[in-house]
Amino acid sequence: MKINIYYGGRGLMDDPTLFVINKMKEVLEELRVTVEQFQLYELKNSITTLPQSLKSADGVILATTVEWYGIGGYMQQFLDSCWLYGDKEKISQIYMLPVVMSTTYGELDGKLDLTTAWEILGGLPCEGICGYIADTSILEENEEYIRIIEKKAENLYRSINQKTACLPTSNQAVKQKIAITKNINFTPQESEQLSQYVSDDTYVQRQKADIQELASMFRDMMGSSEKEDTTEFLKDIQEHFRPQPGLAGNYKLIIEGKKTPLIIEVNGGSFQCFYGEGSRIDVEMHMTREVLSDIVSGKNTFQASFMAGDMKMKGDFKILRALDQVLVFGAGSAGA
């Protein structure tokens, strides 16, 4: 899966839109999605060639900042280019999530403008995110806001993965009646330039690693004297293991309220389940105790819980699905 992010702001350090799309990019990359970011203010002399980059995308995020009025010239120029030179048949298969942050007024209008434009182009709009943020630190320090952003990124992933259908709109009828797709011939230099449009997020990745290291250090420093139950769920999981030749994977379950993660290691007929740390992890899951209780009681599965948004996951989605094949908790586990 590949998602392109088109950023139409001016690239200011305190731009709240940059914080939002960087957070969404982190979530998507944890889900093994290939993310490519295009800074329109850096590409202002070649925006007319950018619709070519849509051909390899399954989804896009159109992100801009309302600084005084409207979605800004760069984003408008990109949308104009999509209308004039874009492949409408390809665009009709692409899901779009709008992101509009305002430092003054008009974020709702901006989000509506992006959604309407994408519908007229024939694309598939998803529920976007918008807000009035006068100071970026408001976003950085509010866990609730961060969770909203992460949830939107996960919903975009699910829409693309499940190929969620959208009802037709009158906006799409405009394209059917008056759209005239013009072909544009690219020079070899322009084609090569398009292939090099990648954002350098080394600084962001370094910050993420530092934060994880600090979080781990503070968890150790704030250790509690209370003893936690390191046997909960183990018996249920062990009794419902069904060996599957050729299936292998190491899973880390981080359960809310528990300091120690639950590790599940599967290698064909070999199986281990324990609280601790694994040497190599293929899939990491974050969930509440209630979600895991529903799974081991047969009311739900790991895959269904993720698709419903009840748990977060990073790693290989195919290996996650394999876990439901070797741990059978439903009616088919009779005799366990």
pLDDT of residue 175: 59
The average pLDDT across 142-159 equals 95
Instruction: Check for a shared fold between 2-202 and 234-333.
Output: no
Alpha helix positions (H), the chain: 16-30, 73-85, 88-91, 107-121, 137-140, 143-162, 170-178, 188-195, 202-221, 234-239, 289-296, 302-307, 317-326
Res 203: pLDDT: 54
Reduced to 3 states, what is the DSSP secondary structure of residue 56?
helix
In the predicted model, what is the mean pLDDT of the chain? Answer: 86
% of residues, the chain, pLDDT over 90: 62
Please count the CA atoms within 13 angstroms of the CA of 116 that sit on its side-chain side.
Answer: 8
* CATH 3.40.50.360 holds for 2-202: yes
User: Residue ranges of the domains in the chain?
Assistant: 2-202, 234-333
At 96-120, the pLDDT tens digits run 999 999 988 999 999 999 999 999 9
pLDDT, tens only, 168-224: 777 666 655 555 544 545 554 454 454 444 344 565 567 677 787 787 777 666 654
What is the structure's pLDDT at 185? 55
**pLDDT value for 219:** 67
pLDDT digits (tens, 9 = 90+) for 52-81: 999 999 999 999 999 998 999 999 999 999
Write the CATH number of the domain with boundaries 234-333: 3.30.1050.10
Structure confidence at residue 157 (pLDDT): 95
Q: What is the pLDDT of residue 196?
A: 44
Q: How far apart are CA 336 and CA 328, in angstroms?
A: 9
Write out the two tokens for 120.
Answer: 């007229």
For the stretch 52-86, what's the b/e string if a residue is b when 16 or more beta carbons lie within 10 angstroms of its beta carbon?
bbbeebbbbbbbbbbbeeebbebbbbbbebbbebb
State the DSSP H helix or E strand holding residue 100, giving kind and residue range, or none if neither.
strand 95-102
pLDDT at 151 over 90: yes
Pairing of strands 248-255, 262-267: antiparallel
